[in-house]
Homo-oligomer: A and B are copies of this chain.
């Protein structure tokens, strides 16, 4: 395929349009119509899973004003950085964080090699089928301990293989959907809308960085290099003649609370102009993002839909939203009501075999 045609395909995936442009001259009018078509469709369909209302309007208006050339709030494309918490913001964290479910299954799988786990919590509770949820105030410590155990001196390639294999079939305990189908459709549309407007979208999560990277590209269109998360220490070594990084069961960086702005600064190096979170773990990220000069946008996804998802906020052990909810009006952050602002919550699930 000649260079110009290849180039054209990269930005316009429709073979009909490309053929029309490069085909006989008589097809030229058709070509122009087809070339313009995506923009017409787009305008009609941006954020289709959002109800009209203050949240949708606030988002659309902000995006419009920072991307319109000549607008006093115009932001050049390279500074259009939008950051998203993952669990509870882009994907359901109920009844448990996806990575918690993975860690529980991994512990069961690895138990034969770790007889010491039979008498030691939280492993003992997991193996006896009692720890399926995060039930107490010490859940963060339990969660961290289980996740660290899943590393188990594996190379980065091995842990990614294990995560990928698990994600291919693992289902949510409450809905029966594939875990990867628990993403919020309105947020997936928002990510796409922002990217279509020249934004670069990043995930900034407290979860383990490699676990998320196994599904973020597929379900959100966010590549590994745009995922910021917690990570463990590593060791560089040669295994079977190959240079490898081995994951160690020790936290290197916890990308939560005040760690989130630090993670953003280390990975991205710019202060984002938009941030979306859903819990107190996102408070500092929202504060830092919206403290910058120029136009800024902060939003909190409020889980107030007991019918279509789960209603929780100030008292929840998973994704507690208390202080950040108080801070929202003071900082002019948008609070998105899942119940009122979202037409649909999840996309259509893949049919079960």
Contact = CB atoms under 8 A, between A and B. Distances in A.
Which DSSP category, helix, strand, loop or mixed, fits chain A's interface? Answer: helix
A269 B209 contact: yes
A288 B243 contact: yes
A236 B284 contact: yes
B291 A243 contact: yes
A310 interface: no
A289 to B, nearest CB: 9
B4 A11 contact: no
B242 A258 contact: no
A205 interface: no
B39 A269 contact: no
A225 interface: yes
A244 interface: yes
Interface string A3-19: 11001001100000000
Interface residues of A, number: 49
Nearest to A225: B268
Contact of A3 (B39, B81, B261, B284): B39
A244 B236 CA distance: 34
Contacts of A2: 36, 39
Given A217-B78, A269-B210, A4 B291 contact: no
24 contacts: A2-B36, A2-B39, A3-B42, A4-B36, A4-B39, A7-B39, A11-B11, A21-B21, A25-B25, A156-B265, A209-B266, A209-B269, A210-B269, A213-B269, A224-B268, A224-B269, A225-B268, A231-B266, A236-B262, A236-B284, A242-B291, A243-B261, A243-B287, A243-B291
Interface of A: 2-4, 7, 10-11, 21-22, 25, 28, 32, 35-36, 38-39, 42, 78, 81, 156, 200, 209-210, 213, 217, 223-227, 231, 234, 236, 242-245, 258, 261-262, 265-270, 284, 287-288, 291
